Structure 1
Amino acid sequence: MLTSSAPDTVADVPGKGRTILLAWEMGEGFAHAGRLLWVARRLIRSGWRPVVAARDPATLRDAYEAEGIDLFPAPPHAPCFTGKPPFRAASYADVMGVCGYADREKLAALVAAWEAILAQHQPAAIIADYSPLLSLAAFRRIPLIPIGDGFVVPPVLPDGGFPPLGARQPDVWPPANLLANARAVQERRGQPLPDNLHQIVNGIGGVVSIPPELDIYAGWRPQPAAGPWERPEAPLPPPDAPRFFGYLRMSHPLARMTVKALIDTRLQGELFLHDIQPGMAAALAGAGILLHETPPPIREALARASLFIHHGGIGSLTDAATTGRMQLLLPRHREQTCNAKRALETLPGCFMATPRTSAETLRAELPKLIANRHAFRRAQACAARIAARPGTAWAALQPLAGPRVIRKQDRRLAAGGVCFRPSCAQA
């Protein structure tokens, strides 16, 4: 097990100083960095030495450095998609395709870059958050556990494929071609050949670290999502008066329209905005809206709000669901749209604006929404139900990441003639 019976003590030290690699190579925002930081802190308590490869090492860098955690950039990759925008993945196979699997030579170079990192750090195991390229580099050589929200830990269909993302549509790339590229890269490296794409990213088993209400693959998953990493606190009490908190990117047209409607209606609240436009800060100040220069602690910000306005990232959805806040969702891309549609089906107090939503509609509906006591009470009741569940993602990780499992995997791989240590496998 990763921890003793008292998870917050170090009486039992099963890690015994061994290195474990935590990685994040796709996706944006604080959710990935925060998730790995949470896990790394608890691995340290259990005697492991975590090192972290991050897509954006600047995100939460100070927090990682305060823990003494070795932090470095994951190998960067450019999208393989060259068609007419926007890119719309039919399934997780296309997600693998766009990050490198659609181009055999690019995939080989990215795997080689990960190989160098593995050879340098010699991890006993890997915890991978949205890291399909690393998953191939480590395939059947190092025990790898994918973690994250439902989107990044997809289930497998009987044919070895992935469920569709939303309404069925043609694949951007035939999955068979992506698999052929992966097998060619592995054959060139003298490494094990995968039978299907899911086998690559599944590792020795994944942990879906969100409430089941937010799992876009809930209908295909044989076991429900494990829940948050730790049991949420009780829902936050209502604020003194109806207020909003918004976390938005102003490069998105609907975000700009929504912020303008908040100014026009003089609703009270707070915002953190990426890509803010000239003159916007003055307009917000004139309307009495507090603009944060840096992201505030989310629970503190939501304690002062009844409505959370955001784009539908899984971290923001989970924060709102567990604190008992109403949500207005403005999805920017396919993953957020899938998240938003799932939330509308399962989370009381969720609402979504679409590209067809007009400025007039926003000005008319926002004051009604922020004062909707019935929707707020239902959001609080849902948060209480989530908090009452005993299961956590940390508990689900224990049987997968325990040293006994890792040693068993080591023996199995060695028995199969595959060298476990990265430095022993040369391309």
Structure 2
Amino acid sequence: MARVLIAWELGEAFGHLARCLRLADGLAARGYEVTLALKDVRLPAGQMPELGITVLPVPLTPQSGAGSGSPVNYADMLRFSGFADTQDVAARLKAWEGIFALARPDALVADHAPTALLAAHLAGIPHLAIGNGFAIPPVVSPWPSIRPWEDVSYEALVDAEEQLDGVLDAAQKLLGYATAVRVRDLFGANDILDTFAELDHYGARLQGRYVGPIVSVPQALRVAWQSRDRPKVLAYLRPAVPGFQTVLQALVRLDAEVLCVAPGMSREAARRIATRRVRIALAPVDLDPLFANADLAVGYGNGGFSTQALLAGVPLSMRPRYVEQALLAHRVEAMGAGRLLSGRIDAGSVTESLQEMLCNLAYRQAAQGFRERHNQFTASQAIEKSLSLIERAFFDGSRIDAIQHAHALKESPPACVH
């Protein structure tokens, strides 16, 4: 039986975990032995993996900055996310060696797991990356800016990648590796993009292997719209979103029925905001039936909610928190299917912006165009295509025979000598 290790190392969103769990269950159902190495092993209700799948925690990645300013490209983002210190990187590589010794993988599938990719590359373990685009940089040199709305110099992009390679080089030498592996060596033609080309953070790639989003919705409450006549606005926000309270105040002022899903908001704060027209949900709700009749969605550029809105033909107003979300928001805006709430905001201007989006049919038409282009898409289709691509990359007929033969040799008892 071939063994697959699925690793998730960076990022906070539920989407990473959902993707790993769906892939693990799918591979296990196809007869593979699967180990999950996860940044967070606290699994939501209803999301436990199939029996027989091993779950391990990944080595802790310190979120230490690499200096002042903001990261300019993917390499720089890694230096801001625990890849600025040689000793830290070497320690995590050593820990991944231990995970490999336990799991004995024949292949690694990495979901925003750059240290795992590097460790697998050094260990000679076949690997690929899977993700929504942001954590799989395109095959260009230097890697492009992740702040296209700012003037980032070519020299800054080159310098960011060289500095990261310098740290990784030193970490590999510390562990005794003679030839250093560069970070761009970790990505390749087998990588899987679980998004749509229009929503790729770096723009559509000619050779990109797009499968569409792999989603898994936790157990959720069924909620219905209350009004027939008013416009309906579905919001998904978190207290950490910049201007969270301002956006809520704008939603209260809006002449519409509003349902706002706000994980992390306190009950007391929700009660102060809620009115007969504005409901606040603190637990997950089933979004699909709500999107079916929604006129506008308000989010922060998070991939799952944004894509779900567009697949339903609902335009988006977006207030990003992180650069990854801002990149996605710019893609939606470029399609004409949404608008950014950027810079300093006040409740009056946000209300005006939301009201304009409700009245301007162009936003709705662009979102419906996206829906029509992808009306054959299903989440199960995305997972099945991903599983097939993983099998094709690692486990063609000749390779699977070799793996099974090697496992049989390792596990068979030694011959008796008389």
The two structures have a TM-score, normalised by structure 1, of 0.80
Matched, 1:27 2:11: yes
Match of residue 143 from structure 1: 126
Matched, 1:370 2:358: yes
CA change 1:82–1:196 in 2 (3 A) is closer
Matched, 1:154 2:142: no
Asked if the contact 1:324–1:382 (Cα under 8 Å) also holds between the matched residues in 2, the reply is yes
Q: SS of 1:263's equivalent?
A: helix
Quote the Cα distance in structure 2 between the aligned partners of 1:392 and 1:136: 27
Quote the Cα distance in structure 1 between the aligned partners of 2:344 and 2:261: 24
Asked if the contact 2:232–2:293 (Cα under 8 Å) also holds between the matched residues in 1, the reply is yes
Match of residue 395 from structure 1: 385
Q: Deviations over 1:101-154 (max 9, x none)?
A: 321001011112222211111112111111111111111521111001111111
CA change 1:175–1:410 in 2 (3 A) is farther
Moved more, 35-44 or 129-138: 35-44
Superposed displacement of residue 173, structure 1: 6.2
Quote the Cα distance in structure 2 between the aligned partners of 1:75 and 1:142: 19
Which of 224, 235, 248 lines up with 2:237 in the alignment?
Answer: 248
Q: Deviations over 1:191-247 (max 9, x none)?
A: 4734532102x166311111100012226x34145131579xxxxxx9955212211
Q: SS of 2:82's equivalent?
A: helix
Matched, 1:187 2:173: yes
Asked if the contact 2:59–2:92 (Cα under 8 Å) also holds between the matched residues in 1, the reply is yes
Q: SS of 1:286's equivalent?
A: coil
CA change 1:307–1:225 in 2 (3 A) is farther
Quote the Cα distance in structure 1 between the aligned partners of 2:228 and 2:197: 31
Which of 112, 116, 137 lines up with 1:130 in the alignment?
Answer: 112
Structure 1 unpaired stretches of 5+: 1-15, 232-237, 413-420, 422-427
Asked if the contact 2:246–2:345 (Cα under 8 Å) also holds between the matched residues in 1, the reply is no
Aligned pairs (5 A) from 1:278-317: 279-317=268-306
CA change 1:125–1:300 in 2 (3 A) is farther
Aligned pairs (5 A) from 1:17-416: 18-60=2-44, 62-65=46-49, 69-81=53-65, 83-84=67-68, 88-140=70-122, 141-157=124-140, 159=141, 161-167=142-148, 168-169=152-153, 170=156, 174-191=160-177, 193-200=179-186, 202=187, 205-218=190-203, 221-228=205-212, 242-265=231-254, 267-276=256-265, 279-346=268-335, 348-388=336-376, 392=382, 394-395=384-385, 398-402=388-392, 403-405=394-396, 408=399
CA change 1:114–1:82 in 2 (3 A) is same
Quote the Cα distance in structure 1 between the aligned partners of 2:169 and 2:295: 51
Give, as a single letter, the amino acid of the residue that structure 2 aligns with 1:269.
Answer: V
The two structures have a TM-score, normalised by structure 2, of 0.81
Quote the Cα distance in structure 2 between the aligned partners of 1:138 and 1:64: 26
Q: SS of 1:182's equivalent?
A: helix
Aligned positions, number: 384
Structure 2 unpaired stretches of 5+: 216-224, 404-409, 411-418
Quote the Cα distance in structure 2 between the aligned partners of 1:192 and 1:206: 27
Superposed displacement of residue 395, structure 1: 2.8
Higher relative contact order (CA 8 A, sep 6+): 1
Q: Deviations over 1:39-78 (max 9, x none)?
A: 2222122111322222222243641246664333222211
Moved more, 114-123 or 364-373: 364-373
Asked if the contact 1:150–1:225 (Cα under 8 Å) also holds between the matched residues in 2, the reply is no
Give, as a single letter, the amino acid of the residue that structure 1 aligns with 2:197.
Answer: P
Q: SS of 1:21's equivalent?
A: strand
CA change 1:327–1:67 in 2 (3 A) is farther
Quote the Cα distance in structure 2 between the aligned partners of 1:149 and 1:319: 14
Identity fraction in percent: 25
Please tell me the root mean square deviation across aligned C-alpha atoms, in Å. 3.2
Asked if the contact 1:307–1:325 (Cα under 8 Å) also holds between the matched residues in 2, the reply is yes
Quote the Cα distance in structure 2 between the aligned partners of 1:49 and 1:345: 43
Superposed displacement of residue 394, structure 1: 4.4
